[in-house]
Amino acid sequence: MTTVVQTEMVAPRRRFRGLRKLARNRGALFGAAIVLFFVMLAVFAPLIAPYDPFFSSFTNVRKPPSAEFLLGTDEIGRDIFSRLLYGARASLMAGVVSVAIALGLGVPLGLIAGYFGGLIDGAISRVVEALLAIPSLILAIALAATLGPSLMNAMLAIGIAATPIFVRLTRGQVLAVKTEDYVEGARAIGLPNGLTIVRYILPNVLSPIVVQATITIATAIIAEASLSFLGLGQQPPNPSWGSMLNTAKNFMTQAPWMSIFPGGAIFLVVLGFNLLGDGLRDALDPRDN
Amino acid sequence: MVRRLPVQESFAAVLKLIVRRILVALPTLIILSVIIFGLQRLLPGDPIQTMMAEQSDPEVIEILREKYRLNDPLPIQYLAWVGNVLQGDFGSSLRTGLPVTEIILQKLPITVQLATMAMIMAMMVGIPAGILAAVHKNSMIDYAANAVALSGMSVPNFWLGIIMIMIFAVSWKVLPASGYVPITQDFWLSIKSMLMPAFVLSTAVAAYLMRHTRSAMLSVLSSDYIRTARAKGLLSKTVIIRHALRNALMPIVTLATLLFGDLLAGAVLTEQIFVIPGFGKLIVDAVFTRDYAVVQGVVLFTAIGFIAMNILADVLYIVINPRLRHPQ
């Protein structure tokens, strides 16, 4: 009983120490600033966008960046800056939703496999190993093709393809925590398995999962852009950075600005999430606590 | 009792490890085959319809369905497929009629050349950069190496490819924008046409190698035997190269083997941008034409290759690390 009380008292203090460490990490702050900047652009896209992202004008086809069109226009005269803002919604949503899917499937499966062990663990682990043998982009392409091309299906495909990583990570963490005194204690006082997992195991395996989730958002954004680039994600005329690059590659010589800006946006957002993930990893590293 | 030579003993140990790892991989392979088979059967659209295009004589369609066993129950289809795969027969393409094994063997060398060139570039950049960053920890060199690595991990391959084509092929005209020249036809032209795609493909792997080399070097450099070597008065360079590097490189070799699989996957987009008729382009084309047999064959082949690379990584780890060769 005393151990239980102790962990509950120690936990918040440890979390604050992590936050303070994160706030001192300049790279992580820079990453958070980039992410926040793009989130704002996506949220306020209708207010910021100077033009309708779908409005095409045949008198303004492939105009280079100017005061009138900040980042130029595309092959049918749509304003690239406006499309980029709306594209940010697709990219960020893809990153967050697919990781949410991967977390929603992977963490419970990992908890079950690690906690109960035995046959359930064997079955889950074998399937995870089989899926991990297929490179995740190839798995996502195959899944997206199976489900049919759309942004929702691309997110689902990326989420499923990223699930095995979370199952394996969570399972490993649970195995490490399972034998701790506070878990044994919870079991000894007759707490049901479900409650033991949710109250005592989950909070203690969360840090590496949070780090992995942040980094996976970065890979998921690239994956969505890749699928859209191949024509398996966001469908035209809806804007997405990947699909903008797909058309842009046909106008490399005539209209380089069509490629430069959407790709630059992907690069910056992914960099932001990677920086944030690195910072979180350093801040939450148990070896320093 | 006859004492065996140490060489024989370690050879036997490695052989035992290979056999054990293959046995462990078997259930994984079986589940994998079920997943791949099931996934492709879920593909919407009838492959025969796709294949026949506008011609749709019901009798011809029926004969073709019979020929490709599409009328059999799924478990029978699966067993027939696995039986053939075990004999190295991945079926034939629904579109071209060519055997899938033949198509794969024809495309694979192209992607292997691309991936090998990318791996060489990544090692040439990533490992020295990691060593420099570790030796000069918290200096400008360290920060710069980390910043470059982080950028390498964050840049989308297909975008970097487009930008490089704009600079090196369109503006400066020093490298070909796209296309592939077989290495047997013209060695130097082949290498030259693959320089850009290989570089684009190498960025993420170079970044991983740099980060792992750096952390491996850092942990080795703070170990007791390095302090001893330094205390003996050995030159800093000697310590770093002869003592630290040899030990730090072991996990790196294993990592590089595993990352080779990532390169094959990354090749999907790189080959698309640079119009290289390799493995990656084969997958995308097969997915878009609903060529079941090719998609199945390619995904299964990639996965088997990945598992083989994993086993190879384990074996290499033991071969280069004599301490692990004699398990108690």
Residue pLDDT, tens place only, A5-25: 444 444 455 556 777 778 888
User: What is d(CA A279, CA A22) in angstroms, rounded to the nearest whole number?
Assistant: 6
- The ipTM assigned to this model is 0.86
Nearest-by-Cβ selection for A267 from B29, B31, B159: B159
Look at B268 and A278 and tell me if their CB atoms are within 8 Å. no
* pLDDT 10s digits, B222-247: 888 888 888 887 777 778 877 788 78
Which residue from A minimizes the CA distance to B161? A249
Output the pTM of the full model: 0.88
Q: In the structure encoding, which two tokens stand for residue A255, read together? A: 């209209």
Nearest-by-Cβ selection for B307 from A133, A142, A229: A133
Q: In the structure encoding, which two tokens stand for residue A47, read together? A: 């207010």
CB atoms within 10 A of CB A43: 14
For residue A263, which residues of chain B lie inside 8 Å, CB to CB? 156, 158-160, 162-163
Check if the beta carbon of residue A168 is closer than 8 Å to that of residue A114.
no
For residue A270, which residues of chain B lie inside 8 Å, CB to CB? 154-156
Q: How far is A151 from chain B (nearest CA, A)?
A: 17
| pLDDT surpassing 70 at residue A110 | yes
Q: How far is A41 from chain B (nearest CA, A)?
A: 20
| pLDDT surpassing 70 at residue B254 | yes
**What is the three-state SS of A115-175?**
HHCHHHHHHHHHHHHHHHCCCHHHHHHHHHHHHCCCHHHHHHHHHHHHHHHHHHHHHHHHH
| pLDDT surpassing 60 at residue B164 | yes
User: What is d(CA A209, CA A216) in angstroms, rounded to the nearest whole number?
Assistant: 10
For residue B264, which residues of chain A lie inside 8 Å, CB to CB? 135
Q: In the structure encoding, which two tokens stand for residue B233, read together? A: 């008065």
pLDDT of residue B75: 85
Look at B32 and A148 and tell me if their CB atoms are within 8 Å. no
pLDDT average, residue stretch A54-70: 86
Least confident of B66-70, B137-141, B196-200: B66-70
* pLDDT 10s digits, A237-289: 899 999 999 999 889 888 899 999 999 999 999 999 999 999 998 888 766 54
pLDDT average, residue stretch A128-154: 89
Give the mutation candidate from A129, A168, A246, A270 for the B interface (greatest B CB count, under 10 A). Answer: A129
Q: Is the dihedral of CA B30, B31, B36, B42 positive or negative?
A: positive
Which residue reads 């795609």 in tokens? Answer: B197
Helix, strand, or coil (residue B110): helix
Q: Pick the closest to residue A129 from B56, B204, B21, B274 (CA basis).
A: B21
Nearest-by-Cβ selection for B268 from A137, A222, A252: A137
Which residue from B minimizes the CA distance to A263? B159
pLDDT average, residue stretch B295-321: 83
User: What is d(CA B200, CA B160) in angstroms, rounded to the nearest whole number?
Assistant: 6
User: What secondary structure does DSSP assign to B54-109, as a single string?
Assistant: T---HHHHHHHHHHTTTTS-HHHHHHHHHHHHHTT---B-TTT--BHHHHHHHHHH
Does residue A237 have a cis bond before it (omega within 30 degrees)? yes
Nearest-by-Cβ selection for B162 from A139, A232, A263: A263
Nearest-by-Cβ selection for A229 from B29, B158, B287: B158
pLDDT of residue B160: 95
**For chains A and B, what is the number of CB pairs under 8 angstroms?**
124
For residue A231, which residues of chain B lie inside 8 Å, CB to CB? 288
Supply angle C-alpha B48, B52, B57, rounded to 5: 95
Amino acid found at A36: L
pLDDT average, residue stretch B59-84: 80
Q: How far is B303 from chain A (nearest CA, A)?
A: 5
User: What is d(CA A205, CA A172) in angstroms, rounded to the nearest whole number?
Assistant: 9
B60: pLDDT confidence band, cut at 50, 70 and 90?
A: confident
Q: How far is A235 from chain B (nearest CA, A)?
A: 15
pLDDT average, residue stretch B69-87: 83
Which residue from B minimizes the CA distance to A248? B162
User: What is d(CA A229, CA A110) in angstroms, rounded to the nearest whole number?
Assistant: 32
Q: Pick the closest to residue A245 from B11, A230, A159, B292 (CA basis).
A: A230
pLDDT of residue B47: 63
User: What is d(CA B48, CA B56) in angstroms, rounded to the nearest whole number?
Assistant: 9
Q: Pick the closest to residue B125 from B30, B196, B211 (CA basis).
A: B211
Beta partners for residue A67, in sequence order = none
| pLDDT surpassing 50 at residue B328 | no
For residue B40, which residues of chain A lie inside 8 Å, CB to CB? 142, 146
User: What is d(CA A92, CA A269) in angstroms, rounded to the nearest whole number?
Assistant: 9
Q: How far is A90 from chain B (nearest CA, A)?
A: 16
Q: How far is B166 from chain A (nearest CA, A)?
A: 7
- Of residues A27 and A97, which shows the higher confidence score? A97
Amino acid found at B138: N
Phi-psi region of A77 (alpha: psi -120 to 50; beta: other; left: phi over 0): left
Look at B302 and A134 and tell me if their CB atoms are within 8 Å. yes
pLDDT of residue B120: 95
| pLDDT surpassing 90 at residue A92 | yes
Which residue from A minimizes the CA distance to B262? A135
Give the mutation candidate from B154, B212, B268, B296 for the A interface (greatest A CB count, under 10 A). Answer: B154
Q: How far is B140 from chain A (nearest CA, A)?
A: 15
